[in-house]
């Protein structure tokens, strides 16, 4: 579910809500109870949990050292 940012039209309070796309986008301010305006945001960054696929799956294998005749 995406996180949406809201700003109260009356008091200017900023807050976030986790809403389904099908949920009503009209929210009331938790501080004063007035109408809010949904803000356009850049969204959240990508979050990797755990050790990450890039370390385990796609890591380049070390090349074996060449033996030199000495």
Q: Parse the chain into domains and list their residue ranges.
A: 3-43
**pLDDT tens profile 4-20:** 899 999 999 999 988 88
Give the Cα separation of 29 and 36 in Å (integer): 6
pTM of the predicted protein model: 0.55
Q: What is the pLDDT of residues 19-57, one digit of tens each?
A: 887 888 789 999 999 999 998 876 666 666 666 555 555
Residue 28: phi and psi, rounded to 5, are -100, 145
* Cα angle for residues 40, 43, 48 (degrees, 5° grid): 175
Asked if 31 and 8 touch (Cβ cutoff 8 Å), the reply is yes
């Amino acid at each position: 579910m995406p996180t949406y940012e809201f700003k109260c039209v009356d008091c200017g309070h900023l807050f976030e809500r986790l809403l389904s796309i099908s949920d009503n986008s009209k929210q009331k301010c938790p501080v004063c109870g007035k109408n809010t305006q949904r803000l356009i945001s850049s969204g959240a960054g990508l979050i990797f949990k755990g050790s990450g696929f890039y370390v385990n799956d796609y890591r380049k294998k070390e090349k074996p050292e060449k033996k030199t005749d000495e």
